[in-house]
Amino acid sequence: MTTKKHAINWFEIYVTDFDAAKRFYETILQTPLLDVPCDGGRMGIFPYDEKSGVGGSITHRPELISGPGGTMVYLNVEGDLDGVINRVSKAGGSVLKGRTSIGEHGFIGIIKDVDGNLVGLHSMK
């Protein structure tokens, strides 16, 4: 397995009113969020250093639930996304979304752990 620089490399804060949430975070952080479309919704990406590989966004999509539990953490599984996905059910969890391309940003998967927490997985390969 490839050496990891960070345990977490992405997070998403789910929102129901994208424009209000974007104004809120831009106001409290005094910095603009990059507004981009995604999977039938929108993301407001927080500024981050692409070299570090750690970033995040506010995210609005109809199927996502905001509020308690409305944050997705993506763990860095660089180079072993398929291996991790294959081990999830054996460890007592479940795979909600298998390997999915996110274009130039690599691949993700989404799992449910043994406590029912949703956890994202990310790899460039």
Q: What is the DSSP string of the chain?
A: -PPPS-SEEEEEEE-SSHHHHHHHHHHHHTSPPEEEEETTEEEEEPP--TTTT-EEEEEE-TT---STT-EEEEEE-TT-HHHHHHHHGGGT-EEEEEEEE-GGG-EEEEEE-TTS-EEEEEE--
Looking at the structure, do residues 46 and 63 belong to the same domain, yes or no?
yes
Looking at the structure, do residues 63 and 84 belong to the same domain, yes or no?
no
Biggest CA pair distance of the chain: 45
Domain of 82, in residue numbers: 77-125
Q: Per residue in 77-124, pLDDT tens?
A: 999 999 999 999 998 889 999 999 999 999 999 988 887 888 899 999
Looking at the structure, do residues 86 and 62 belong to the same domain, yes or no?
no
Looking at the structure, do residues 102 and 52 belong to the same domain, yes or no?
no
Looking at the structure, do residues 31 and 56 belong to the same domain, yes or no?
yes
Looking at the structure, do residues 30 and 90 belong to the same domain, yes or no?
no
Q: Among residues 20, 42, 68, which one ends one of the domains?
A: 68
The more confident residue out of 29 and 59 is 59
pTM of the full predicted structure?
0.74
